[in-house]
Structure 1
Amino acid sequence: MIKAATFQGQKTAVFGLGRTGNTAALSLARGGADVWAWDDNEAARKAAKAQGVNVKDLSKADWSDFNELVLSPGVPHELPKAHWTAAKAKTHGVPIICDIEIFAREVAARPEHQRPKIITITGTNGKSTTTALIGHILKACGKDAEIGGNIGRGVLDLDKMHAGKYYVLELSSYQLERTQSLRANAAVFLNLSPDHLERHGTMKAYEAAKLRIFDNQTHDDSAIIGVDNKETKRLFSELTAKNGRRIIPVSTKKSLGRGISVMKGRLYCNVSSKCVEVCDLTHAKALEGQHNHQNAAAAYAATQSLGLDPKAIGEAILSFPGLAHRMETIGSAGPVRFVNDSKATNADAAMQALKSYENIYWIAGGVAKAGGITPLEKHFPNISKAYLIGESSPEFHKTLTKKNVEHKISGTLEKAVLCATRDAMQSGIENPIILLSPACASFDQFKNFETRGEAFREHASRIIDLFEQEKNRMSAA
């Protein structure tokens, strides 16, 4: 754990005792802060106490004594409605931060030569895969690297920092809007599309939160931006005009005169006077699809900007095992392949899978985002049949009916998997794909997208096992 020594002697409120809140409270306490930690949920308070967190009722505190409030990223401080702790903090002039800001101050407090390297990643989609891939590249190249932030472990739960350490951090807009001091040696901004507008209010505010990933960078640091998305292409032009750092564009749609490109599956680096082919991404089995090629290009740009050997980076990209719930192949039952893309919680994310495969038996639904699945209409021809689950089923039924896409309302994930398997087996289609890519949040039926993906894995694995057993029985007969 990273000890928050910069908070020594301060009285700090912590609200939200989940993964990040508990580690923040423990880190602050070990650094010498007087911590008052609280959660509205009794079970969360009990679990935090069991971990050694100092749980005190913030509703009974004198808020004028607090130096800062560490508010869990998932708890709103303004929209759609400020949480009561945020309202208390504002009334008493208490700054609201998150665990990333604590981490940033600990890095800044160290002498320059003793600081770790920081690589940060944001964007509407692709953050987790890019973060995991960068971590994989660094480790494959012999670096002491850890990933965290919005993926895996909370940032303060990572191992003690030292010179030569690399921290690879996935950062959400919720985290970035409460972070002021973080300086990234390499910052990646992949793409931008409407999401979390109930929290930020407008696209302009959402964009502003994401752009904080570039705050505090110097001429020695690198900004990596995907330019295939019109919003981030504009941001690239604006940052270039401001200058102030090395800016590396990334594209999978066109060859760049300067930058990192992917053309016909091949990754090219053109950041100096000579264009170099790095690797053939068609051999990277865990990085299927154009969006994953962008992730690979961004990961290459970030690691190469930190001085890693291009050839070693290319070899590491090809050996990347992939990330659970992101276009993850579970296995096959005969010709039928099961793909878990539960992380696709909005239409933009689901689009990446729908345009990467053909003969799709598509499982979709849950808590719909604004616009539903209408943005996916141009990829409907790749769908053989759709199976709708969750509360969005009536809305999605109307959209698919208008576009003459064969579908049925399955209701539950288990029923959808069974029906899709039966239909795919009986179709006679070559290499059908049963794809869970919901284009929705999971909260109507599952705790989170991971739980939904694990449920899909269990249903698919059961079918695969039965198929193998029957195949073995027939072979032995």
Structure 2
Amino acid sequence: MIPVRGFEGKTVAVFGLARTGLAAARALLAGGAKVALWDDKPATREAAAAEGFQLTDLTAADWSQFDALMLSPGVPLTHPKPHWTVEKAKTAGVEILGDIELFARTVNAAPEHKRPKVVAITGTNGKSTTTALIGHICREAGRDTRVGGNIGLGVLSLDDMHGGAVYVLELSSYQLDLTTSLKADVAVILNISPDHLERHGTMENYVAAKRRILLNQGKGDTAVIGVDDACGQRICTEITAANCRTIVPISASKAMSRGIYALDGLLYDASGDRAAEVADLKRARSLPGRHNWQNAAAAFAAAKGLGIDPAVAARALMTFPGLAHRMETVALIGRVRFVNDSKATNADAARQALSSYPQVYWIAGGQPKTGGIDDLADLFPRVTKAYLVGEAEDAFASTLEGKAPAVKCGTIEAAARAAYADAAASGKDAIVLLSPACASFDQFADFEQRGEAFRAAAQAIAAGRTTEGAI
């Protein structure tokens, strides 16, 4: 745990008592603060009380007694409307912040020789893989590395800091909205495409949240910016004009006169006098497809920003084990491979997986995002057949009509069985791909639970049985 500094003897209201909120409460208490905890859900409050936390009904509390509100990132800050705690905090003049801000202030309060290195990663897609990949490279280079934030452990649950540590943090736009003091030694923006607009209100607000990862950077810091989309290109151009840090453009679609880029699976470093090939990413089994080549370019650039030997970083790319629910093979039955890409919660993420295979038996659907799968029309010829699930199945069936065969299956288990039957009957090597292009919340608690349902269904098929009670 990282004891939070700067709130000694002060009282901090903590709203949202899931993983992030409780971790923040522990860290605040360890740093000498007082906390007032609350959640809208009775079951969540009961779980916190059972763990020994004392609760304070923030609906009836005197907010003038609070020095700050620690808001869990899932709680609406501005859209679709501010949460009631946000309104109360603003009325009382109480500062609103998140766990990443608490971490940032603790780092800033540490003596110079005890401050760790911080690598911060954001983007619409690829954050988790890139974060884990950078962590893997750092460990292979012998660095004392802690990986967390929006992946794995919450940041304040990681081991306490010291001058030789490296914190590699995945940051969502929700977390960044609550962060003002973070100074990243290396900041990474992978890509930006429309997502979470119901939370941010507009695309401009969403981009502004992502850009907050660059706040407070200065001379000696590194910004790694993906330039394969218009937003990334614009950000790179604007911060280059500011000329206050080292800027490394990355691409997986074009050669560049400077930066790190991948073409046809070959990774090049063009940060010197000429571009030099540094790795053949087609040999990296856990990094298939162009989107993962962008992730690899970002990780390599971040490693260089930390001063890691490029040869060590290149070797580490080859040994990266990959992440669950991100183009993960969960079963191989005869000539049929089941690929779990449950993390693809929007169309742009699903594009990455669909682009990686010449033909797929595609399982898609769930709680739809704005725009559905309309933007994937150029990839529909790769869909041998689609198997649709969840709330989106009617809309997706309409979009696919006349463009790719589709069947409504309702559930992940039914879709997996139907897709396997068709794939096996083809007599060819085949991919059954779960890449939903949707959120999971219509049928599952999160994308992990959805991916595990797919894994269980595939393994049940392999064992010659069906799962019971699977959604």
When the two structures are superposed, what TM-score results if normalisation uses the length of structure 1? 0.96
CA–CA distance in structure 2, aligned partners of residues 53 and 140 of structure 1? 39
Q: Does 1:416 align with 2:423?
A: no
- Equivalent residues in 2 for 1:81-230 (5 A)? 81-230=81-230
Counterpart code for 2:383: I
Uncovered stretches (5+) of structure 2, i.e. residues with no partner = 466-471
Q: How big is each residue's C-alpha offset from its partner over 1:306-357, in whole Å with a ceiling of 9 and x where there is no partner?
A: 1101111111111000001011111210110000000000000000001111
Please state whether the residue corresponding to 2:13 is helix, strand or coil.
strand
- 1:41 is matched with 41
Counterpart of 1:337, as a letter, is R
Counterpart contact for 1:296–1:317, Cα < 8 Å: yes
In 1, Cα distance between equivalents of 2:128 and 2:368: 21
**Counterparts of 1:217 and 1:378 in 2: how far apart (Å)?**
39
Structure 2: which amino acid aligns with 1:455?
Answer: A
Which residue matches 1:425?
Answer: 424
Q: Distance in 2 between matches of 1:247 and 1:35?
A: 40
Aligned equivalents of 1:201, 1:66: Cα separation in 2: 29
Paired letter, 1:462: A
- Confirm or deny: 8 A CA contact 1:358 1:433 kept in the other structure: no
Q: Contact 1:115–1:163 at 8 Å: present in 2 too?
A: yes
Percent identity at matched positions? 57
1:277 shift after superposition: 1.8
Find the counterpart in structure 1 of residue 461 from structure 2: 463
Partners of 2:5 and 2:105 within 8 A in 1: no
Match of 1:451 in 2: 449
Distance across 2 between alignment mates of 1:264 and 1:424: 28
Q: C-alpha distance in 2, partners of 1:308/1:53? A: 43
**Residue 433 of structure 2 is aligned with which of 435, 453, 459?**
435
Residues in 1 aligned to 2:413 and 2:426: alpha-carbon distance in whole angstroms: 20
The answer to whether 1:359 aligns with 2:359 is: yes
- Range with greater deviation from structure 2 (269-278 or 212-221): 269-278
**Any residues of structure 2 matched to 1:38-77 within 5 Å, and which?**
38-77=38-77
> Within 5 Å, which residues of 2 pair with 1:255-334?
255-334=255-334
Confirm or deny: 8 A CA contact 1:143 1:165 kept in the other structure. Answer: yes
Q: In 1, are the aligned partners of 2:5 and 2:109 still within 8 Å (CA)?
A: no
CA drift at 1:273 = 2.2
Secondary structure at 1:60 match in 2: coil
Q: Deviations over 1:221-270 (max 9, x none)?
A: 00000111111011111111111100000011111111101122111112
Amino acid across the alignment from 1:421? Y
Structure 1's unaligned 5+ residue stretches are 468-477
Query: C-alpha deviations, 1:290-309, integer Å up to 9, x for none?
Result: 00000000000001111101
Q: 1:188 aligns to what SS in structure 2?
A: strand
Whole-angstrom CA distance in 2 between matches of 1:128 and 1:52: 32
Counterpart of 2:415 in structure 1: which amino acid? A
Q: Does the 8 A contact of 2:173 with 2:210 survive in 1?
A: yes
Whether the aligned pair in 1 keeps the contact of 2:86 and 2:96 (CA below 8 Å) is: yes
Aligned to 1:471: none
Equivalent residues of 1:265, 1:281 under 8 A apart:
yes
- 1:381 alignment partner AA: P
- State the shift of 1:274 in Å: 4.2
Shift of 1:49: 2.4
Distance in 2, matches of 1:171 and 1:203, equals 18
1:349-372 CA distances to partner (integer Å, 9 max, x unpaired)? 000001111220000001111110
Residue type matched to 2:127 in 1?
A: K
When the two chains are superposed, the root-mean-square deviation of aligned CA atoms in Å is: 1.1
Deviations 1:424-451 (A, max 9, x none): 01123x3210000000000111110000
Q: CA deviation at 1:5?
A: 2.6
Q: What SS is found at the alignment partner of 2:6?
A: helix
**One-letter amino acid of the structure 1 residue matched with residue 308 of structure 2:** L
How far apart, in 2, do the equivalents of 1:185 and 1:84 lie? 35
Distance in 1 separating the partners of 2:171 and 2:403: 39
Q: 1:382-397 alignment to 2 at 5 Å?
A: 382-397=382-397
TM-score relative to the length of structure 2: 0.97
CA contact (8 A) 1:359 1:431 kept: no
Q: How does 1:8-47 map to 2 (within 5 A)?
A: 8-47=8-47
**Secondary structure in 2 aligned to 1:285?**
coil
- In structure 2, the residue corresponding to 1:44 is in which secondary structure? helix
Provide the secondary structure at the position in 2 that maps to 1:225. Answer: strand
1:417-472 CA distance string (max 9 Å, x none): 000000101123x32100000000001111100000011011111222339xxxxx
Correspondence list, 1:366-405, <5 A: 366-401=366-401, 403-405=402-404
* SS state at 2:82 partner: coil
| CA–CA separation in structure 1 for the residues paired with 2:52 and 2:97 | 22
2:138 and 2:112 map into 1 onto residues whose CA distance is 21
Q: Is the 8 A contact 1:26 1:52 kept in 2?
A: no
Pairs aligned (count) = 465
Tell whether the 8 Å contact from 2:360 to 2:384 is kept in structure 1 after alignment: yes
Residue 77 of structure 1 contacts residue 87 of structure 1 at CA under 8 Å; is this kept in 2? no
2:347 aligns with: 347
Distance 2:87 2:378 in 1: 45
Q: Distance in 2 between matches of 1:320 and 1:54?
A: 43
Cα distance in 2 between the residues matched to 1:424 and 1:466 = 16
d(CA) in 2 for partners of 1:456, 1:350: 16
Asked if the contact 1:38/1:45 (under 8 Å) is kept, the reply is yes
For residues 437 and 332 of structure 1, what CA distance do their matches in structure 2 show?
A: 17
Q: Which amino acid aligns with 1:418?
A: R
